[in-house]
Amino acid sequence: MKKTALTKSSARRAPVKTLVSAAIMVLGASAANIALAEAASQKLTSPSGEISLEFYLTDKGQPAYRTRFHNKPVIGESLLGLDFRKAPDLLENFSIIEVHSRSADSTWEQPWGEERYIRDHFNEMVVQLQEKSPKARALNLVFRAYDDGIAFRYQVPAQSHLDKVEILDEATEFNLLENMSTWWTPALAGEKYEYLTQNTPLDQVELVHTPLTMKGKSDLAIAIHEAALKDYATMNLSGDGTRLKAALVPIHKDNPVKVETSAPFASPWRTVQIAEKETDLITSYLALNLNEPNKLGDVSWVQPGKYVGIWWELHLEKGTWNQGPKHGATTENTKKYIDFAAANGFDGVLVEGWNEGWDGEWYNHGGAAFNFTKAYPDYDVDAVTEYAAKKGVYIIGHHETGSETDNYERQLEDAYDFLQKHGMKAVKTGYVESGELLTNGNYHHGQKFVQHAEKVTKVAAAHKVMVVAHETVKDTGERRTYPNLISREVARGQEYDAWAKDGGNPPDHTTIIPFTRLLAGPMDFTPGTFDITLPSRPDNQVNTTLAKQLALYVVVYSPVQMASDLPENYAKYPDAFQFIKDVAVDWETTRVLSGEIGEHIAIARQTRDSEDWFVGAVTDEKAREVAVDLSFLNKDLSYTATIYRDGEKADYRSNPEDYVIETRKVKAGDTVRAQLAPGGGMAISLLANEH
């Protein structure tokens, strides 16, 4: 960092240059080193000046910040600090030693993603604090202001009076100044991240997950989350009136410590996305910008794709994971799926229940029985591998661990070696177990599990395997650093529709998660059910129309998308199945066309390296009209639009499979109008015509 003597205000107005090329470049950087009067408050503004943050010390010398948006306060005095076990806390009695400022403006390219080029444009302020006590311990706070929000992290430098630490708590607060409408799922409540979202005023929030999305009276939208969660505890939030406080997840059930570490260390970034309206939260890539760049080098082997598999038939109880007359993962059944994948252009075939370990109570402390290199006798791995290769598809391996992370870690190298040797380019991992603990007593998203998840990702990368992680820790943007961590579940996916006692995901679920869970990153939601009424599950059904199932491929972003239904159900609706075959999974850009949390949302995405676009629009349980303005299309081209919409009589409860497909020529500026049925949706493919 350059050290130039600047005034405080000129430090904030660092040069900002415009990007001309899309290549990765760092263009503007300036720095300042300012000696400060103790009482002074330090200001940081976003490049556009719309968001500002003020840092200061309270009367007790405790660090605090507040934030304004459009010059109105949105976060009031919020305290900061770290609470240690067996050592004095880093909380109060500080003075400001120095403040360094810099600005940066660069654009980087995602190897795959919902947006190809991401601009990383921020002003930063590093506040160096020192205790006034004789030990004079040091704590740095790093703040960044972006045009789409703020972020900050604790940095504890190497120093003589601080080495090993046990963090009991973070004093971090987010003091919202309005009793905002809040969408939340409960944390540490028994089902990990798999809850339907509640919507209440902020002052009813107790202990919740992030991203936590809030909406103010004037449409102001705020989402609190974290970025670059690495070797640290997950941050939940606990509510007290309209004040939220960081609540770190403990390491182990018998130990109140949240993080064991030693100086130097840094916490994950605490992020606050701030937008004029909720739809802008979706195209904010703050958390990705705060993660370290790709550490894997050439990741051309990481490829988005679509898959089918031996999966839905298990959830429908037509087949079993365990051995027996209905065992799903047989050589013969897998070959059937391989044929289906090859005939319809799918890349992968997921096979669950292929390995030893499923015959006992694997979901109830039985995970130690899982063996990740031994197949059941009716699953001939070599034959399946050869057959898949001949047909040009790959098998997606499956590692259900039953939350027995120790058993999994013991086998990790061998397990990934096995996948690589058998051409399995991807693996789906799973950590089923009721409650919030792993079988070794560690908390599911405590520091040890965060370490475990990173270890798995790295071992997978070393074997060139992509990971689709279920029941793992929430996404905080690690895909930037490890692009092989391609998708995860971490919310209620479509599987709940097959068996949940509450009747499955209600129609508004998919009008909420784009504004909440999906702000964190891609989700393996597994849409694509065509046999909506689930005859083999009389108490359940999928609570959407068939057209909405198609729209979900665009609305719920994932670079790996499953066509989850059985081949025979796709055979009944070949014209609708065409959309699943056509829809892209890797995007040049994403536009949110309209949306209101919990009501409706419409998203358009442009296929990477192509002029083609796809649109998905979904509604909650209410019928509504949608008008898709096609002004995003290239004005110099004409397009063939294929519109998959609800039929006149469609209704997710009584007539979900009523749909209409229309094809017509369209151009930029045209509008596609349709009536969405209750629980309905519309999908459009817009293929550019040759000219």
Residue 493 CB, nearest distance to ligand NOJ (Å)? 6
The nearer residue to ligand NOJ, 268 or 430, going by C-beta atoms, is: 430
What phi and psi values does residue 659 have, to the nearest 5 degrees? Answer: -140, 165
Q: Does 489 bind ligand NOJ (CB under 6 A)?
A: yes
Q: Tell me: does residue 192 bind ligand NOJ (CB under 6 A).
A: no
Give the whole-angstrom CA distance, residue 561 versus residue 493: 12
* Neighbouring residues of 178: CB distance < 8 A, sequence distance ≥ 6: 74, 202, 216, 217, 242
Q: Report in angstroms how near the CB of residue 430 gets to ligand NOJ at its nearest.
A: 4
400 near ligand NOJ, rule: CB under 6 A: yes
Residue window 427-446: x/- pattern of binding to ligand NOJ, with contact defined by CB under 6 A: ---x-x--------------
Specify whether the CB–CB gap between 31 and 101 falls below 8 A.
yes
- Whichever of 314 and 628 has its CB closer to ligand NOJ, that residue is 314
| Residue 34: strand pairing partners | 99
E strand residue ranges, 6-71: 25-28, 31-34, 42-45, 51-57, 63-69
The C-alpha atoms of residue 237 and residue 200 are separated, in whole angstroms, by 15
- Between 469 and 584, name the residue whose CB sits nearer to ligand NOJ: 469
Q: How far is the CB of 551 from ligand NOJ (least distance, A)?
A: 22
The CB-nearest residue to ligand NOJ is 400
Q: Which is nearer to ligand NOJ, 191 or 386 (CB)?
A: 191
Does 397 sit near ligand NOJ (CB under 6 A)?
A: no
Nearest distance in Å: CB 194, ligand NOJ: 8
Interface characters, 339-358, with ligand NOJ (x: CB under 6 A):
-------------x------
First to last CA, the chain: 52
**Closest separation in Å from C-beta 210 to ligand NOJ:** 21
Q: Does 425 bind ligand NOJ (CB under 6 A)?
A: no
For residues 563 and 294, what is the distance between their CA atoms, to the nearest angstrom?
29
Ordered alpha helix ranges (H), 513-566: 546-555
- Measured from the CB atom, the residue of 489 and 612 that comes closer to ligand NOJ is 489
Minimum CB–partner distance for residue 664 and ligand NOJ (Å): 38
Beta bridge partners of 186: 208
Q: Is 612 in the site for ligand NOJ (CB under 6 A)?
A: no
Is 148 a residue that touches ligand NOJ (CB under 6 A)?
A: no
Beta strands in 58-137 (DSSP E): 63-69, 72-79, 82-84, 94-109, 117-131
Binds ligand NOJ (CB under 6 A): choice among 470, 479, 517, 605: 470
- Cβ closer to ligand NOJ: 19 or 432? 432
Angle 305-309-312 (CA atoms, 0-180°, nearest 5)? Answer: 120
**Does residue 495 touch ligand NOJ according to CB under 6 A?**
yes
Our CA angle for 116, 119, 122, nearest 5°, is: 160
- Cβ pair 318, 539 in contact under 8 A: no
- Measured CA to CA in angstroms, residue 504 lies from 542, 555, 567, 585 at distances of 7, 19, 23, 26
Nearer to ligand NOJ, 430 or 477 (CB): 430
To ligand NOJ, the closest distance from the beta carbon of 628 in angstroms equals 32
173 binds ligand NOJ (CB under 6 A): no
**Bond preceding residue 211 cis, omega within 30 of 0:** yes
Residue 69 or 311 with smaller CB distance to ligand NOJ: 311
Kindly report the backbone phi and psi dihedral angles of residue 215, in degrees, each rounded to the nearest multiple of 5, phi listed first: -130, 135
657 tagged catalytic: no
Number of residues in the chain: 691
Of 552, 567, 494, 607, which Cα lies nearest the Cα of 344? 567
From the CB of 181, what's the least distance to ligand NOJ, in Å? 30
User: Residues 101, 43: contact at Cβ < 8 Å?
Assistant: no
Q: Considering the complex, state which of residue 84 and residue 311 has its C-beta at the smaller distance from ligand NOJ.
A: 311
105 binds ligand NOJ (CB under 6 A): no
**Contact pattern for ligand NOJ over residues 558 through 597, marking x by CB under 6 A:** ----------------------------------------
Q: How far is CA 164 from the centre of its chain?
A: 32
Report whether 309 contacts 352 (CB < 8 A): yes
Q: How far is the CB of 494 from ligand NOJ (least distance, A)?
A: 9
Residues between 268 and 327 with contacts to ligand NOJ, criterion CB under 6 A: 311
Handedness of CA 188, 190, 195, 199 (dihedral sign): negative
Contacts of 469 (CB under 8 A, 6+ apart): 428, 429, 453, 456, 485, 487, 488, 489, 490
State yes or no: residue 500 binds ligand NOJ (CB under 6 A).
no
Identified catalytic residue from 495, 588, 596, 599: 495
Residue 661 sits in the site that holds ligand NOJ (CB under 6 A): no
Q: Which residues bind ligand NOJ (CB under 6 A)?
A: 311, 352, 400, 430, 432, 470, 489, 495
Q: What residues are labeled active site?
A: 495
